[in-house]
Structure 1
Amino acid sequence: MKSQIPNDATAFLLKFVKPEYENDFIQGKLRMNPLSYFIEREKETGDRGVGDALEASAVYADVEMTLMDPETDEVLVKGKAERINIHSNDRIKSPVLCMYSVDKDVLQVSSEDESSIEVFPQIEKNELEKLISDFGDNMLIINAKLFMDRVKEKCEELQIDFKAGKVKYYDFSKNYSDRVSKYLDLDSSDICFIKDDYFKAQNEYRLLLENVSTESYHILDIGDISDLVTKFKISDFFSGRYKIILKKEMIEVGTEGFK
């Protein structure tokens, strides 16, 4: 039997959280910041890690630009821009919950049988150091499948539309066709699941509320989830000392675009 984890499977979710906020999360009070929060954080503090000034933006590289007067068609400015970014002022008000996806990209398979897979989490040392530098060493391990089941149930009850799945990372210095095609509708939630390669170490799984808008933050209360959550340290989880046995039926498969 070939030992592997499906490409679209998320075994666990990790929530990097400060100790003073972890109890709220365990109680199911999910604090979700709007995308504008991350944009302003980088702009105001220079913190490019938690902050990202290009959230939910259409980013074009090496663009020929012509600016014309709309009434006379007179060319006002013409030239080449190294980069142009555009975003929707409405979409950046969408609240998001950012987590880390424990999937095939970070799990090394050691053995497998008909019902389970034995794995151990492993990432590069520089990636581990970057995570701890950006978020601290405190985290919660979350059962991905059961967590998303409860999110879905609560959102259906509240008539909230949501999208959940892994962020896709690109080299923003190049105009990849599959990325640019998603820029045709700046109000689409698809644009919120695209980030620069700089953030790739975050291996992000994102939950976004599509028809909720906020300029501060939004609390999605899904009820107590203490049965789904385990407290841990990032440095311990990726130390190579811990093996995990995954039950195949409990791996959330196909969460890309989960609604």
Structure 2
Amino acid sequence: MKFSEVKGCENLTVMFAKFTKSEHAQDLLDGNLYMNNFKHFVKQEENSKHKGQGDSYEGAFVTTFDAVDIYVNDGYAGYAQSGKISMTYTDLDRSPLFSMSMLKSCDFKVIEDKGSSIVLKVDFSEQDIKEFKENFKSDTVVFTLNFKTLIERLNDAARKTETKRVTGPVEYVDFSIMDSKHKDRYKRFEEGYIDFLFHKHNSLKYQREFRLILPDIQVDRNYTFEVGSLEDIFYVVDIDEFFSGMKIELGLKKANSI
């Protein structure tokens, strides 16, 4: 059964995980968070011709338009088919971001109930596993169950360096649907809110992304955000072990027992 079927655990955050290459794992353990800017991911899709880790919509508010006639100086100039328009604010595409996957109770299945604790195993679909391996070219997963401490350390590092930081989970959106939610998102974009930096195309929802953004910093390529050692709260595991063999045990209140 899914962990989310346990009473009181329906929408519980369990883990933050970074899918990476083994040679980069130590940097994360040392608290050196390597951050590319939004523009990097736009160019990555342009170069690869594939939406995955690269995403041409990154850092932009995306809206659609219907087929229209185009006029110039009151004269008919042509015809434009329906399509998408991306809009952003000056320099925000140069702001750095750091991403992890936020795994919730629905991403785990129950292996054993011990009464005072419960043993879980990662339970992704085969398609989601394939997407992670192919799009992220990862062989290693660095993860923490102590994500509250991680957020506290991100906040502390931002305060010490007097850097504005914004964190939160990504909302996956069908940009082709022009409903009331789209109108609300557009209104907030016009009013100067940066919610749109946490909106991604719903084809990427397998990424389960949680992101850290430093909106007041602009970099041409990348940025390293130093938060101090994280070795005490992170674990490192091979990606195949993570998906197929790794088990975790969580303490539970008795009321949450199956």
Q: TM-score w.r.t. structure 2 length?
A: 0.82
60-69 or 156-165: which moved more?
Answer: 60-69
1:109–1:188 Cα change, 3 Å: farther
Amino acid at match of 2:7: S
**Please, which runs of 5 or more residues in structure 1 have no aligned partner?**
250-259
Matched, 1:122 2:127: no
1:116-139 residue CA offsets vs partner (Å, 9 max, x unmatched): 554322010111011011122211
Partner of 1:208: 213
Partner of 1:236: 241
Tell me if the contact between 1:91 and 1:189 (Cα under 8 Å) persists in the aligned partners: no
Structure 1 Cα separation of the partners of residues 161 and 74 of structure 2: 49
Superposition RMSD in Å: 2.8
Partner of 2:223: 218
Given candidates 43, 49, 53, the residue that maps to 1:40 is: 43
Partner of 1:139: 141
Structure 2 Cα separation of the partners of residues 174 and 107 of structure 1: 31
Amino acid at match of 1:12: M
Q: Secondary structure at the match of 1:211?
A: coil
- Identity percentage over the alignment? 24
Tell me if the contact between 1:128 and 1:238 (Cα under 8 Å) persists in the aligned partners: yes
Partner of 2:204: 199
Structure 2 Cα separation of the partners of residues 88 and 38 of structure 1: 17
1:77–1:138 Cα change, 3 Å: same
Aligned length: 245
Given candidates 148, 151, 169, the residue that maps to 1:148 is: 151
Q: Secondary structure at the match of 2:58?
A: coil
Tell me if the contact between 1:120 and 1:244 (Cα under 8 Å) persists in the aligned partners: yes
1:178-232 residue CA offsets vs partner (Å, 9 max, x unmatched): 2442233265321011111111111111111122221211111011111111111
Partner of 2:256: none
Tell me if the contact between 2:70 and 2:80 (Cα under 8 Å) persists in the aligned partners: no
1:235–1:32 Cα change, 3 Å: same
Structure 2 Cα separation of the partners of residues 26 and 112 of structure 1: 31
Matched, 1:3 2:11: no
Matched, 1:157 2:182: no
Given candidates 3, 10, 15, the residue that maps to 1:12 is: 15
